[in-house]
Structure 1
């Protein structure tokens, strides 16, 4: 990039040439009038050639403002006076003033040209005196000639320092300007990216400033707001009542629970499910709004988000309906089958022992099928109804441990219970028994043969805690994360052909959640797995 001072000097060279010409003419006039002498023809030719060269160099420098070109032009101008210096020696001070003009321009150029300018100024005065042996003889001449030289040198030095400071300041301004341009470019690019992202995602997104003015929104947000009866740009002025219903799809939501009402009220809306739209064309959205704050805590705006979960809920409902239908369809033919097997067993028990053994095998298989059907029904029961009453949970755990001992003995496992004396909760005893039995059954299935399964029940503050741990192979972090998902089976269960649908822990989770409790899973102290149930104590 061209130095702006070099460019300025280059653009001033034509004016400088005029000053040089004027100064030269003045010198010649003084020379001619005072001394009544005429310059030799050869000197006139030299002066003309040098002036022509100066003008040509000035034109070239204006078109190509490079430091070297501009410096060469200034040196050509100095050369004009070098050619006349001998003849104009009696008028030394005047020629010094004239030659100072191009040298001052040279002082404004980048280093090393200011130094060269000072040297040329000194040499212009001193060298002719050395060559001719003519030096100022009086004090007045010394003061006038060399005082003028010193003053001009100081002017050149000051000009060079000023140009240097000006360049530094210009460099800082240029850097600041580039930084602003880069920042503006980043902001522009960031806005384009944000607009592209929010315009592409299926989630409805809208952002408002602290005064409730709309800053940005994607098309999906306009669509959802329209269904709710609002215009995004005017959240305080609903255009109609809209069709917004609670999770049951029939109860209309109050106005204060609408998506944009939080913007008007200056509050936040926790993630809530709502069905939006007319009956038969409803869409389900998880809607929320949250405040956006700057690092210093001052309000920046409000973010409103609505995520379409219609397909997820429809898929969940279809899976629930499928499980419920399949479970009932399987249980219906199994009931008469069990009854006929009981009758058949009574008739052949005494007459044909071999047939009885085969009937018992069939009955065990039927029992396994009924167990799986019961699991499916429990998994399908997403709205679990409980019969709550004060229940001795510790006693239930002890009973479940006793019931699980025969199955544990078949795998050479020791199963032990550690229960507190008082662990009472308002619970459905049948469901709690089912949950604990599921945990013990899993532990017996996956524990290493010859190890111990431990079931503990105690009261901690205001909750009952049930823990079942084994010394099995344990579970990876990914397996722990998915353990409570319906139909999830760990890779080891597939590898070892362990029977089951992968519904046991899912059933436990549903039962505990229905009791307002929490089920969690973690590695046991013995290296296996420990499942913990927490439910409110009575």
Structure 2
């Protein structure tokens, strides 16, 4: 049986007081007023047994309602209490109706309780109780109404109370429905709150666990950040009062030149820009850290900006290792080039010696070729250690540059290169011919070294209004996805190159990319294992 919240079982013990206050107390107050007034005004009823019994029944019902632990009693037990109230009201009405006709209003209290507090079938009990109260005088006299007026008096109270009971029950049902909805909504919100709290705890644990500084800055300036992000902010020089999130201790790769506030990654990110892999040195001179910063805006599905996520990686160990490596390369290259230059000079003097025996001349050629290979390797090491590529630009025909680069190859290699579009005119660019020839020659050499011996190397040159595109394709073992991701790394050599003992330091593609980027272009690799590799190089057209 469904009941209203005041009557539900299984709750706290204080529910018994709610039963008394909300259900019994109004009846007790009303009955006390009616009986007390009647005893004063109508002396004839002072010895009436019906009045005494009715009053005692109602008082007993109220006492039981106050003392019994209703949180342990089922709903039918409460119905018994209401039935007792009906019986008490019937006795009081029988005693006082001829003097105080309005006494029958007391029937409203138990009827409303039954109609409002219980499910619809109990309304039938409420109606039956009203009929019992109205018919009680006839039951006592063991007779029936003798006239139409008596029938009208008998039926008026039940009919009116039926309407009130139905309305009260419908209102109670609506309240029960709304309460159920509110409880369900509360449970859903509670679950959502618990999920949100769990998500927050997980996110906080992730933020504190990852080896990076992570922060979210909302558009209103509020932020959340882990300890590493806060430590980095302090190193940069950000303070709690900083509104632009820029600092005075962020430097370029030389560790000395400050980065202006508008160029720093955090202000750029907060302005809505997506910043990827911004490298900078931060902190005071004697304890700088290398930080890579990336930012990304966070938006709702509607596109509304919520804030910016900032991720900062400390790569100090890696950056310092790279610096040591670059310094080592520069030192080794310089130390090797100096004696090598002297050795090549003495070889030139020997070549010019007219008394040089012929049998030594061929051996000197072998030495010279070895010196040339060593010179090439040292040049690669020096190029790899250069911080930048210096260019001496002139406007040249790229097709002719490709032809010259192919022509500088040996006869056998030159015969394998098939060129398309290199003989046309109009494909001009402002480039450093020496540097670009070096890059193109490196790509052709790689294609010949790694391609199948019996297959050609295809060179295609084309252009549009904005750029010139050079494609060099070989038919060979190709590269896997993992190899492609590392192909431009300095000193990286693919497993196939190591297995075939192909000479080189693994610097060729790294140098090629640096040269094309210095020209404002780019280099792209496309490869399929077992099919071959295509290198796509692009250069910008000169501005007219």
Do the structures match in fold with TM over 0.5? yes
Give the aligned partner of residue 382 of structure 1: 387
Match of 2:396 in 1: 391
Label 1:245 to 1:118 Cα distance change in 2 as closer, same or farther (>3 A): same
Find out whether 1:203 has 2:221 as its counterpart: no
2:534 corresponds to = 530
Alignment-derived partner of residue 418 in structure 2: 416
The answer for the alignment partner of 1:145 in structure 2 is 154
CA contact under 8 A between 1:439 and 1:468: conserved in structure 2? yes
Aligned pairs for 1:268-287 within 5 A: 273-285=279-291
Unaligned runs of 5+ in 1: none
Specify the alignment match of 1:438 in structure 2: 442
Deviates more, 1:252-261 or 1:59-68: 252-261
Select between 471-480 and 47-56 the one with higher mean Cα deviation.
47-56
> Within the alignment, does 1:4 sit opposite 2:12 as a pair?
no
What is residue 328 of structure 2 aligned with on the other side?
Answer: 322
- Matched with 1:166 is 175
1:16: how far off? 5.8
After TM superposition, give the deviation of residue 325 of structure 1 in Å: 2.9
- Residue 512 (structure 1) aligns with: 516
Q: Please give the alpha-carbon distance, in whole angstroms, between the structure 2 residues aligned to 1:337 and 1:237.
A: 57
| 1:394/1:26 CA distance change after superposition, 3 Å | same
Contact 1:107 1:113 in 2 (8 A): no
Relative distance call for 1:204 and 1:398 in structure 2 (3 A) is same
Contact 1:23 1:98 survives alignment (8 Å): no
Supply the distance in 1 between the matched residues of 2:84 and 2:479 (Cα, whole angstroms).
Answer: 89
* Aligned residue in 2 for 1:231: 239
With over 3 angstroms needed to count, the CA separation of the structure-2 counterparts of 1:348 and 1:149, relative to structure 1, is same
Native 8 Å contact 2:513 2:523 kept in 1: yes
Once residues 195 and 409 of structure 2 are traced to their aligned partners in structure 1, the CA distance between those partners, rounded to angstroms, is: 66
Q: Deviations over 1:380-403 (max 9, x none)?
A: 223222232233321221233344
Deviation, structure 1 residue 203 = 2.7
The CA deviation at 1:331 is: 4.6
Please show how residues 20-35 of structure 1 align to structure 2 within 5 Å. Answer: 22=32, 33=44
Within-5 A mapping of 1:282-321:
282-285=288-291, 308-321=314-327
When the two chains are superposed, the root-mean-square deviation of aligned CA atoms in Å is: 5.1
Following TM superposition, by how much is the alpha carbon of 1:234 offset from its aligned partner in structure 2, in angstroms? Answer: 4.1
Contact 2:219–2:307 under 8 Å retained in 1:
yes
Please show how residues 73-472 of structure 1 align to structure 2 within 5 Å: 73-78=81-86, 98-118=106-126, 120-121=128-129, 124=132, 134-182=143-191, 202-203=212-213, 205=215, 207=217, 209-210=219-220, 215-216=223-224, 230-235=238-243, 242-254=248-260, 273-285=279-291, 308-331=314-337, 350=358, 368-404=373-409, 406-408=411-413, 414-418=416-420, 419-422=422-425, 423-472=427-476
What TM-score comes out, normalization by structure 2 length?
Answer: 0.75
Q: Is the 8 A contact 1:379 1:486 kept in 2?
A: yes
Task: Please say if residues 474 and 529 of structure 1, whose CA atoms lie closer than 8 Å, have aligned partners that are also in contact.
Answer: yes
Q: Contact (CA 8 Å) 1:467, 1:531: kept in 2 or not?
A: yes
Tell me the SS of whatever aligns to 1:280.
Answer: helix
- Partner Cα separation in structure 2 for residue 337 and residue 475 of structure 1: 39
CA–CA distance in structure 2, aligned partners of residues 382 and 432 of structure 1: 18
State the partner residue of 2:477: 473
Is contact 1:235–1:260 with CA below 8 Å preserved after alignment?
Answer: no
How far, CA to CA, are the matches of 2:282 and 2:249 in structure 1? 6
- Cα gap change, 1:454/1:142 in structure 2, threshold over 3 Å: closer, same or farther? same
Instruction: Measure how far apart 1:508 and its partner are.
Output: 1.0
**Superposed displacement of residue 405, structure 1:** 6.0
Report the alpha carbon displacement of residue 375 of structure 1 after superposing the two structures with TM. 2.6
- 1:150 is displaced (CA, Å) by 0.9
Partners of 2:49 and 2:214 in 1: how far apart?
94
Further displaced range: 125-134 or 440-449: 125-134
Further displaced range: 422-431 or 98-107: 98-107
**Structure 2 counterpart SS, 1:475:** coil
Matched residues in 2 for 1:427 and 1:237: separation?
40
Report how far residue 79 of structure 1 moved.
5.7
Question: TM-score normalised to the size of structure 1?
Answer: 0.75
Contact 1:14 1:59 in 2 (8 A): no
Separation in structure 2 between the aligned mates of residue 309 and residue 66 of structure 1, nearest angstrom: 70
User: How many Å separate the matches in 1 of 2:306 and 2:46?
Assistant: 85
For residues 326-348 of structure 1, what are the alpha-carbon distances to aligned partners after superposition, in whole Å with 9 as ceiling and x for unaligned?
A: 33445555556667888599999
